[in-house]
């Protein structure tokens, strides 16, 4: 295989649950051939699924080449690796065990290529967290799967958009368990990881972070709960004492109501819905889910399978396209960070070229 470090980034894209909107948004996002100037796409799915949705959506201009496992990818075409036998017909809008198994097989195939360096990043289309469950996938979602497979000591689900970046201390757990698992160490780990990711993945040299409280009104000085004053506030203060720009805890309702998030580079919420509800209200059609803390780059759209509109041709591909662009940007930022850590390995002209390339947004090329 060609040395991908000297070529465009090679990015794997899984189709997700093929009865959801994953295949549709993938096809729509890759329809414009100009996108091949930015990266080399490798799809993990099946010819039958793509052919069915092309016909169903009446999409004429979408072509790809099939690639066998281990074969080189073409940098001038969309590449497809078939991950399962095409014995089942896609049934848009239906929840089936076959679709869950296929989604898992696509994940496994894309993970192997990511581990072996055949791809440099992965973008995952939505799965159904119920029908994918098996011995091979005993996880609440993609985030936990990648954290386990790539042995991340700590990881962070980070939703990103132009308007807002927001991570969560706890992830896919029941609400009644949040206060039980919340500790100073856990909050500190997530703050530290968020700071690291903002510097490494988003090239923000001195990030500003807002930390939300857990209880209404951030506990109202203990009247509405002790977690804010006993756990969150002291942890935030410990970062301030070290010169880090970390502030809080902020009452979540007023924080978003007054648009205070605009004053920060990122926000850390305490639990899933506290962060994802405002994020999806602000950026649902172009938001990106990024797993921070991994040695590899993994992004996804911020929406689910959307069975209710699957196969109807009305799914918006904006979030999937944004996930691709975010993966490209993060890869470039990580390469830039390597150059900055080893200034002797690159000339000033090389570093300037990298800086100039980083300033160019992929969207401007489409």
- Tens-place pLDDT, residues 87-131: 888 999 999 999 999 999 999 999 999 999 999 999 999 999 999
Residue-level pLDDT at 6:
55
In the numeric block, which tokens belong to residue 69?
């496992």
Q: The pTM is what?
A: 0.87
DSSP alpha helix (H) spans, the chain: 22-30, 47-56, 97-115, 142-149, 178-181, 184-200, 227, 233-241, 252-257, 272-283, 318-341, 348-359
* Contact by Cβ (8 Å): 19, 89: no
Query: Of 340, 211, 328, 348, which is closest to residue 266 (Cα–Cα)?
Result: 211
Q: Please name the residue that has the structure tokens 């001195």.
A: 206
Query: What would the pLDDT profile of 276-299 be if each residue is shown by its tens digit?
Result: 999 999 988 899 999 999 999 999
Q: CA quadruple 128, 143, 12, 135: dihedral positive or negative?
A: negative
Helix (H) or strand (E) holding 26, with range, is helix 22-30
Q: For all residues of the chain together, what is the average pLDDT?
A: 89
In the numeric block, which tokens belong to residue 337?
């960070």
Hey, what domains does the chain have and what are their CATH numbers? 1-152+294-366 (3.40.718.10), 153-290 (3.40.718.10)
């Amino acid at each position: 295989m060609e040395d991908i470090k000297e070529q465009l980034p090679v990015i794997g894209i899984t189709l997700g649950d093929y009865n959801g909107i994953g295949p549709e948004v993938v096809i729509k996002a890759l329809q414009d051939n100009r996108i091949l100037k930015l990266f080399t796409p490798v799809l993990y799915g099946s010819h039958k699924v793509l052919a069915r949705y092309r016909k169903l959506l009446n999409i004429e201009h979408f072509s790809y080449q099939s690639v066998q496992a281990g074969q080189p990818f073409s940098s001038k075409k969309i590449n497809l690796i078939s991950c399962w036998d095409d014995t089942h017909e896609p049934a848009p809008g239906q929840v089936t065990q076959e679709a869950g198994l296929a989604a898992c097989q696509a994940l496994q195939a894309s993970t192997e290529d990511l581990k072996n360096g055949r791809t440099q990043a992965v973008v995952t289309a939505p799965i159904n967290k119920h029908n994918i469950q098996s011995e091979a996938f005993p996880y609440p979602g993609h985030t936990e799967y990648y954290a386990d497979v790539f042995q991340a000591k700590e990881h962070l689900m980070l939703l990103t958009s132009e308007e807002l970046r927001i991570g969560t201390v706890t992830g896919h757990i029941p609400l009644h368990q949040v206060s039980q698992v919340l500790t100073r160490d856990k909050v500190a780990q997530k703050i530290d990881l968020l700071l690291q990711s903002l510097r490494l993945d988003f090239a923000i040299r001195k990030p500003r972070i807002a930390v939300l409280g857990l209880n209404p009104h951030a506990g109202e000085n203990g009247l509405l709960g002790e977690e804010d004053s006993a756990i969150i506030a002291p942890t935030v203060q410990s970062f301030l004492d070290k010169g880090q720009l970390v502030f809080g805890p902020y009452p979540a309702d007023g924080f978003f109501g007054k648009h205070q998030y605009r004053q920060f580079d990122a926000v850390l919420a305490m639990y899933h819905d506290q962060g994802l509800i405002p994020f999806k209200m602000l950026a649902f059609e172009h938001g990106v889910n990024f797993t921070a803390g991994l040695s590899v780059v993994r992004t996804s759209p911020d929406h689910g399978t959307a069975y209710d509109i699957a196969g109807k041709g009305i799914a918006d591909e904006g979030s999937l396209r944004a996930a691709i662009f975010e993966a490209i940007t993060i890869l470039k930022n990580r390469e830039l960070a390597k150059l900055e850590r080893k200034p002797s390995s690159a000339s000033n002209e090389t570093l300037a070229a990298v800086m100039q390339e980083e300033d160019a947004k992929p969207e401007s090329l489409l």
